[in-house]
Structure 1
Amino acid sequence: MSEKINIIQADINDAAQLHEIEVMSFPPQKAASLEAFEYRLRKFPQWFFKAEKSGKIVGLINGSSSNKLYITDDLYGSDGGYDENGENLLIYGLAVHPDFRHTRVAHLLMDNMINAARSSCKKHISLTCKEALIGFYESLGFTKRGVSRSTIGNMINYDMEMFLDEK
């Protein structure tokens, strides 16, 4: 029987390992810097999760609470539009180690983040993605909004969004 994947909150001591997975998953001009990860882990760690298997970090997801609806390029370099009382969750990145892709790690990370957003009474979640990933996010309940204003990495990205039911 295979080992279980655990999704838990990341902490500052994980920054270097998390960053390694980030740079394996995104082109250099799109990957978040180690400094950005350290900032997020210090300022809003409640929105930074890791996937572990047998004690090894195999994936990550991070974002921030915000009053902004969508990600724009300026949010990657500053405080991420962080507002503790914001009604929205902006997801900055989802990355899985190449050896663990297509093993549902990304699904588990996304499910965890969506549940955390619901538990925190967020009303809306948004993220950007490349065209090839639209179907993945739609399978999780996201809707394509259109071409994103974010052009980090000189790439065409798409805004994806999910409105959370009030329960």
Structure 2
Amino acid sequence: MTDFPVRYDLDEAGRIGAAIGAALAAGDVVLLSGDLGAGKTTLARAMLKARGLAGEAPSPTFAIVQPYAPPEVDLPIAHVDLYRIESADELIELGLDDYLHDGALLIEWPERLGGDGWPGALLLMISGEGDARVLTADVPAAWGARWPLR
């Protein structure tokens, strides 16, 4: 199911990310797609804040995987940035599937996953320039009843 585009400005990004973050459950994968500077990290930070993260979440661009666990958050979450990944072989070393046993994944630059990925992942596509953004979501059936942006 593809949801209608949500138009927002950067001031509203926190509210949108918080709504999605509050709906996260163990086993969820959220794919954040968009150009450099589109606001992927901004939405991910808002999702983490909704799960209890008190401080500022660093961008995982250089670490690639930034894990968060209780008591820092109420649901284990790995924030992943695949921008620096050059081949699908590198993904195996990250062990991303391990995070899904009791937590969730927020993955920026999912295009780097190649043909592999997660069926049933929530795909958020962000576009726009300046302060204006458009969020389009490919909402899988597992999210249907809990999708917060209606």
Q: Which has the higher helix share?
A: 1
TM-score in terms of structure 2 length: 0.33
* Bigger RCO of structures 1 and 2 (CA < 8 A, at least 6 apart): 2
